[in-house]
Amino acid sequence: MFIKKIISVLFISLWLVSATSIANATVISYNNRVTFEATLTNILTDDFNSPAYSIVNSAISMKNLSAGSIGYESTFFSAPDLNIVSTQQLCWGCNGTGQIILDGTTIGSNVGIFGFGLDITSNNFSSSYTAFVTYGDGSTQNFGLGLGGTFFGLTSTSLIKQVHFGLPNGGAKNNGSFRVDNVTIGNSMNEVPEPAPMALLGLGLLGLLAVRKRHQS
């Protein structure tokens, strides 16, 4: 009977933990930098102002020079090493496609970062770009970016692993014009606490042990 009670407590608590995690998997998009950064702490921004950048940079060089070890990779021209830094902006061609890697930064985890945003300074011609986002839990999502310059930002409790800029679902292309600046990452202003069900699990097991000890004595 005692073992059955333990199994019941474990099952209920683990179900509550799973339900809590799913309920907290929230994605919010932003078109305003001030609003976006107000949700973050430990903010780091790549502004591509360093004289150490060449005009054409390899993926390794970009990661070494970036704030917080953000990764940058071209995905159409000379992938992954055609990362062009010119007039303090980044592009991949500049009519090609590329991706930003966020699972190896100095302030995030090995599955991504809570907040990611950038200034899109050029997204022109008839073929606009799409942001294809991969989250830390493996799920993906497309965000249409429209035409022209704008701010694009995301926060996710599932964390953001990488963002590809090109065709929907991560497709590469070589028509258009796309440039970015001020690539920003940050942690959550409100760290998510350990789920309450875990505390309930511990208290439940302690209670059952106390009851068993009292019956034995």
Tell which residue, 117, 88, 92, 90, has the closest CA to residue 102. 117
- The residues near 120 (Cβ < 8 Å, ≥ 6 apart) are 145, 149, 150, 151, 152, 178, 179, 180
**Alpha-carbon distances of 170 from 42, 45, 73, 133, rounded to whole Å:** 29, 24, 13, 8
The pLDDT tens digits for 29-63 are 999 999 999 999 999 999 999 999 999 999 999 99
Fold type of domain 26-187: Jelly Rolls (2.60.120)
| pLDDT for 189 | 87
Residues of the chain with pLDDT under 50: 2, 6-7, 9-23, 192-201
The pLDDT, as a whole number, for residue 208 is 54
How far is residue 53 from each of residues 6, 45, 50, 87, 201, measured CA to CA in Å? 60, 15, 6, 11, 53
Q: Let me know: does 152 contact 143? Beta carbons within 8 Å.
A: yes
- Domain boundaries in the chain? 26-187
Strand partners, 46: 183
Q: Which two tokens stand for residue 56?
A: 């054409």
pLDDT at 176: 86
